[in-house]
Amino acid sequence: MHPALSVIVFTTLSGIGFALMGLLGIGLGGDGLAFRWTAVVLAYAFAVIGLLSSVAHLKSPGRAIHAFSQWRSSWLSREGVLSILTLGVFGLWALAYLFMNRSIGSLGILAAVLAVATVYSTSMIYAQLRTVPHWATWLTPAAFLAFGVAGGLMLLATLLAVFGEDGARAVAQFALLALVIAWSVKAAWWQRTAKTTLVAAGSGTGDATGLGRIGKVRAFEPPHTSPNYLMREMAFEVGRNRARALRRVAIAAGAVLPTLLVILAVYGPVAPAAALLLALAIHLAGMLAERWLFFAEARHAVASYYGIGQSDGALASR
């Protein structure tokens, strides 16, 4: 699948923003006024920038409005409805948190539940697509949720440290655990996709042409003399070397370096705020690379018609 920048930004930032809303809602915050305002503004900023990127991907405001009306059958629509509800409920909680110096537990918990449901709905936009075998697994929503929580905890720990609030090291320890869990889920996701082919999923050339019942089918000539829209968007190919290089970037920047920096912030002699801020910035870069690969390595069943992706997994043979 073609990795559009708007969707990469959307799926990366919105997960972190909604995770921070949920963490603040369940009481993992500080008492200082500067911390409270910054945390709330950043939670909204990450979530809203991500959602605006999603709307931009739809190209037309009319499509965005229409998307909200299909919540009974569309995960995209459910995500839109849930995101508005989450922003609204969290906004009510934030008013009391900012102006009354109190956390309304029921509203905070409701905002946290809605935030989880929103990120889950985002992941199901992709996990429900049986025509993209790489995505059609429970590991997809598990990875989206785990990465959202890990990023939210890292952002929260960074803010607590920057503003000198209590609990920064404790939250950073939770962030370490969340990073390990998230990347363990991603490793399992990659292991599965390495074995996933369109043929194994019942989407080979024979299935695409309807001729598989009479024997093995192979293309004699390409169906088109030049690339078309489907080949560019649904049968996007990423080179073996480029994919491997980006995977190394994703692992190094998304997992290894942030983990080392968080460990230094918690147990080392370095200033926690500086180490956590650097860890967060590097982690975001790694997550953008990971999310680019999530789209670029996926194979839509339509690729079978063009003879693409018949025997390769996500990275194994490219």
Residue 12 CB neighbour total at 10 angstroms: 24
| Per-residue model confidence as pLDDT tens digits over 261-277 | 999 999 988 889 999 99
Indicate whether 117 and 177 sit together in one domain: no
Indicate whether 19 and 101 sit together in one domain: yes
Indicate whether 124 and 175 sit together in one domain: no
Which residue, of 94, 128, 162, is where some domain finishes? 128
CB 300 within 8 A of CB 235: yes
Question: What is the total count of domains within the chain?
Answer: 2
d(CA 28, CA 15): 17
The answer to whether position 48 is within a domain reads: yes
The answer to whether position 59 is within a domain reads: yes
d(CA 282, CA 270): 17
Predicted pLDDT of residue 250? 95
Terminal-to-terminal C-alpha distance of the chain: 15
The answer to whether position 136 is within a domain reads: no
Indicate whether 21 and 103 sit together in one domain: yes
Instruction: Read off the pTM.
Output: 0.86
Indicate whether 72 and 174 sit together in one domain: no
The answer to whether position 139 is within a domain reads: no
CB 67 within 8 A of CB 74: yes
The answer to whether position 150 is within a domain reads: no
Q: Closest Cα partner for 77 from 142, 125, 129, 141?
A: 125
d(CA 21, CA 158): 15
> Which are the contacts of 267, defined by CB distance < 8 A and separation ≥ 6?
none
The answer to whether position 161 is within a domain reads: no
- What is the mean predicted confidence (pLDDT) over 272-287? 96
- Asked if residue 193 has pLDDT above 70, the reply is yes
Predicted pLDDT of residue 194? 81
The answer to whether position 141 is within a domain reads: no
Residue 94 is encoded by which pair of tokens? 């934030």
In this prediction, residue 197 has a pLDDT band, given cuts at 50, 70 and 90, of low
- Asked if residue 157 has pLDDT above 90, the reply is yes
Indicate whether 318 and 178 sit together in one domain: yes
Which residue, of 99, 128, 157, is where some domain finishes? 128
Domain of residue 103: give its range. Answer: 1-128
Indicate whether 216 and 301 sit together in one domain: yes
For residues 45 and 269, the model is more confident at 45
Which residue, of 128, 159, 187, is where some domain finishes? 128
